[in-house]
Amino acid sequence: MDSYFIHHTPLVRKTNTEITFDKVDKVYIGKGNCCRCGCGGEYYTAQENPKEVKKALEKLSSGKYEIESQDDYIFEAETSCTKNHTKVICLYLKQ
């Protein structure tokens, strides 16, 4: 039999991460089941659209949504789901 090695990182326990407004690079709000090039949603930066970023932070910290994270840098929550697509908020922190 052939062997296949898949490099992966196991899921870790849930944790809380404190995110302040000045740590936010950008926020994507739009379709979740498509690429993130901007064709299915909008990107907002803290400098250009502070209201949108604050609304996104409030939703993500509300405890209402399950949030997936990647390397404590990208945080994503599905905010609604219809038959044809999902809507997400995706928060990117500054590196």
Domain of 77? 23-93
Residue 15 inside a domain? The answer is: no
Is residue 57 in a domain?
yes
* Confidence grade of residue 9 (pLDDT, cut at 50, 70, 90): low
Number of domains in the chain: 1
Residue 89 is assigned to a structural domain of this protein: yes
Residue 88 neighbours by CB distance under 10 Å: 23
Residue 56 domain-assigned (yes or no):
yes
Residue 91 has pLDDT above 70, yes or no: yes
Contact predicate 7/62, CB 8 Å: no
DSSP H/E element including 27 = strand 24-31
Examine residue 9 and state whether it is found in any structural domain, yes or no. Answer: no
Question: In the chain, what percentage of residues exceed pLDDT 70?
Answer: 86
The residue among 71 and 88 whose pLDDT is bigger is: 88
DSSP-assigned beta bridge partners for residue 69: 75
Q: Which long-range contacts (CB under 8 A, 24 or more apart) does 47-51 make?
A: 50/21
37 in a structural domain: yes
Q: Indicate yes or no: pTM above 0.85.
A: no
